[in-house]
Structure 1
Amino acid sequence: MRSGAKLRAVPVTAAVVFLITGCGSGDVAGTPPAGGTLTVAVTSDPQCLDPQQAGSSDAITVTRQFVDSLTDHDPDTGKLSGWLATSWEVDPQVTSFTFHLREDATFSDGTPVDAQAVKDNLDGLIKLGARAVQASTYLSGYRETVVVDPHTVRVEFTKPNAQFLEATSTTSLGLVAESSLAQPAADRCAKGIVGSGPFVLDQYTRNQQVVQRRRTGYAWSPARMANRGAAYLDRLVFKIVPEASVRVGLLESGQADAVLGVGPQDTDRVKRAGLVLSSRPNPGLVYGINANRSRPLVADGSVPRAIQRAIDRRQVVETILSPDYHAATSVLSSPTPGYVDLSGNLSADAAAATAILTAAGWVPGPDGVRVRAGQRLSLVVRYYTPDSGLAGSSLELIQQQLRKIGVDVVLKPTPITQAIQTFKDGDYDLIWGNASAADPDILRNYFTVQGLNVVRLTAGPLQDALYAQAVEGDPGRRAQQVALAQKLLVEEGYAIPVYEPTTVVGLSAKVHGVRFDAASRLQFVDVRRS
Structure 2
Amino acid sequence: MRNIVRRRTGALVLAVAAASAVAACSAGSPGSTGDAGTPRPGGTLRFGLDYTPSCLDPQQAGEGPNLEVLESLTYQDPRSGDIVPSLASSWEVGPDAKTFTFHLRDGVTFSDGSALDASVVKDNLDGITKLGATASNSGANLAGVTAVTAPDPHTVVVTFGAPNAQFLQATSTPALAVLSRGSLAVPAAERCAGKIVGTGPFVLTSYTAKQEIVLSKRQGYAWGPPSWQHTGDAYLDRVEIKVLPEAATRTGSLSSGQLDVSSNIAPQDEPQFDGNGFTLLSHNNPGVVLSLYPNERRPVLQDKTVRQALQKAVNRPEVISTFLSPRYRAATSVLSSTTPGYTDLGAALAYDPDGAKALLDAAGWRPGPDGIRVRDGARLSLDVIFGRPQSLELIQQQLKTVGIELTLRQLQISELQSQFAAGNFDFFLLNSTRADPDVLRTLFGRAQLTGADALKAALATQAGSLDPQVRQRAAADAQRSLVEDAHVIPVNEQALVIGVSDKVHGIGFTATSGVSFYDAWLS
> Residues 25-49 of structure 1: CA distance to partner in whole angstroms, max 9, x if unpaired?
6311x22421111111001222322
2:237 is aligned to 234
User: TM-score, normalised on structure 2?
Assistant: 0.94
In the alignment, structure 1 residue 415 sits paired with structure 2 residue 412: yes
Q: 1:310-459 to 2 correspondence within 5 Å?
A: 310-385=313-388, 389=389, 391=390, 394-449=391-446, 453=447, 456-457=449-450
Choose the corresponding residue for 1:180, options 170, 174, 183: 183
Choose the corresponding residue for 2:60, options 47, 53, 62: 53
Query: Which runs of 5 or more structure 1 residues have no equivalent in the other structure?
Result: none
In the alignment, structure 1 residue 513 sits paired with structure 2 residue 513: no
Q: What is the CA distance between 1:20 and its match in structure 2?
A: 5.2
Amino acid at match of 2:476: A
**Distance (Å, rounded) in 2 between the aligned partners of 1:272 and 1:200:** 33
For residue 136 of structure 2, give the secondary structure of its aligned residue in structure 1. coil
Q: 1:109-508 to 2 correspondence within 5 Å?
A: 109-271=112-274, 273-385=276-388, 389=389, 391=390, 394-449=391-446, 453=447, 456-457=449-450, 460-508=453-501
C-alpha contact (below 8 Å) 1:2/1:89 kept by paired residues: no
2:11 is aligned to 7
Q: What is the CA distance between 1:246 and its match in structure 2?
A: 0.9
C-alpha contact (below 8 Å) 1:54/1:60 kept by paired residues: no
CA spacing shift, 1:9–1:419, aligned 2, 3 Å: farther
Q: What is the CA distance between 1:330 and its match in structure 2?
A: 0.1
Q: What is the CA distance between 1:341 and its match in structure 2?
A: 0.4
**Distance (Å, rounded) in 2 between the aligned partners of 1:162 and 1:66:** 27
**Distance (Å, rounded) in 1 between the aligned partners of 2:271 and 2:280:** 9
2:51 is aligned to 44
**Distance (Å, rounded) in 2 between the aligned partners of 1:373 and 1:429:** 19
For residue 299 of structure 2, give the secondary structure of its aligned residue in structure 1. coil
> Residues 235-284 of structure 1: CA distance to partner in whole angstroms, max 9, x if unpaired?
11110000012101111111111111111121112226431101011000
> Residues 340-398 of structure 1: CA distance to partner in whole angstroms, max 9, x if unpaired?
0000101111111111111111111111111111111111122223xxx5x1xx11111
> Which is further off, 139-148 or 495-504?
139-148
**Distance (Å, rounded) in 1 between the aligned partners of 2:295 and 2:423:** 7
Amino acid at match of 2:459: L
**Distance (Å, rounded) in 1 between the aligned partners of 2:512 and 2:299:** 36
> Residues 90-119 of structure 1: CA distance to partner in whole angstroms, max 9, x if unpaired?
111011111111111111111111212211
Amino acid at match of 2:318: Q
Q: What is the CA distance between 1:225 and its match in structure 2?
A: 0.8
> Residues 428-487 of structure 1: CA distance to partner in whole angstroms, max 9, x if unpaired?
1122110111111111221132xxx2x655962222322332223322222222111111
Report how many aligned residue pairs link the two structures.
513
For residue 330 of structure 2, give the secondary structure of its aligned residue in structure 1. coil
Segments ≥4 residues shifted beyond 3 Å:
9-12, 17-21, 455-459
**Distance (Å, rounded) in 2 between the aligned partners of 1:469 and 1:293:** 24
User: TM-score, normalised on structure 1?
Assistant: 0.93
2:35 is aligned to 27
C-alpha contact (below 8 Å) 2:69/2:204 kept by paired residues: yes
C-alpha contact (below 8 Å) 2:202/2:215 kept by paired residues: yes
C-alpha contact (below 8 Å) 1:9/1:163 kept by paired residues: no
For residue 353 of structure 1, give the secondary structure of its aligned residue in structure 2. helix
**Distance (Å, rounded) in 2 between the aligned partners of 1:471 and 1:458:** 22
Amino acid at match of 1:48: C
For residue 134 of structure 1, give the secondary structure of its aligned residue in structure 2. helix
Identity %: 46
C-alpha contact (below 8 Å) 1:60/1:171 kept by paired residues: no
CA spacing shift, 1:315–1:232, aligned 2, 3 Å: same
C-alpha contact (below 8 Å) 1:381/1:428 kept by paired residues: yes
**Distance (Å, rounded) in 1 between the aligned partners of 2:138 and 2:466:** 20
C-alpha contact (below 8 Å) 2:55/2:192 kept by paired residues: yes
> Which is further off, 478-487 or 257-266?
478-487
Q: What is the CA distance between 1:500 and its match in structure 2?
A: 0.4
Amino acid at match of 1:156: T
For residue 133 of structure 1, give the secondary structure of its aligned residue in structure 2. helix
For residue 407 of structure 2, give the secondary structure of its aligned residue in structure 1. strand
Choose the corresponding residue for 1:75, options 72, 75, 78: 78
**Distance (Å, rounded) in 2 between the aligned partners of 1:171 and 1:19:** 20
**Distance (Å, rounded) in 1 between the aligned partners of 2:312 and 2:330:** 14
For residue 100 of structure 1, give the secondary structure of its aligned residue in structure 2. strand
Query: Which runs of 5 or more structure 2 residues have no equivalent in the other structure?
Result: none
CA spacing shift, 1:524–1:307, aligned 2, 3 Å: same
For residue 473 of structure 1, give the secondary structure of its aligned residue in structure 2. coil
For residue 251 of structure 1, give the secondary structure of its aligned residue in structure 2. helix
C-alpha contact (below 8 Å) 2:128/2:138 kept by paired residues: yes
2:96 is aligned to 93
C-alpha contact (below 8 Å) 2:12/2:83 kept by paired residues: no
C-alpha contact (below 8 Å) 2:52/2:413 kept by paired residues: no
**Distance (Å, rounded) in 1 between the aligned partners of 2:143 and 2:461:** 13
Amino acid at match of 1:472: S
C-alpha contact (below 8 Å) 2:283/2:513 kept by paired residues: yes
**Distance (Å, rounded) in 2 between the aligned partners of 1:66 and 1:247:** 24
**Distance (Å, rounded) in 2 between the aligned partners of 1:509 and 1:292:** 45
C-alpha contact (below 8 Å) 2:296/2:302 kept by paired residues: yes
Amino acid at match of 2:324: L
**Distance (Å, rounded) in 2 between the aligned partners of 1:46 and 1:364:** 42
**Distance (Å, rounded) in 1 between the aligned partners of 2:437 and 2:453:** 19
**Distance (Å, rounded) in 2 between the aligned partners of 1:429 and 1:154:** 41
Amino acid at match of 2:520: V
**Distance (Å, rounded) in 1 between the aligned partners of 2:346 and 2:303:** 24
Amino acid at match of 2:11: L
CA spacing shift, 1:511–1:272, aligned 2, 3 Å: closer
C-alpha contact (below 8 Å) 1:288/1:495 kept by paired residues: yes
Q: What is the CA distance between 1:166 and its match in structure 2?
A: 0.2
CA RMSD of aligned residues (A): 1.8
Amino acid at match of 1:412: R
C-alpha contact (below 8 Å) 1:4/1:81 kept by paired residues: no
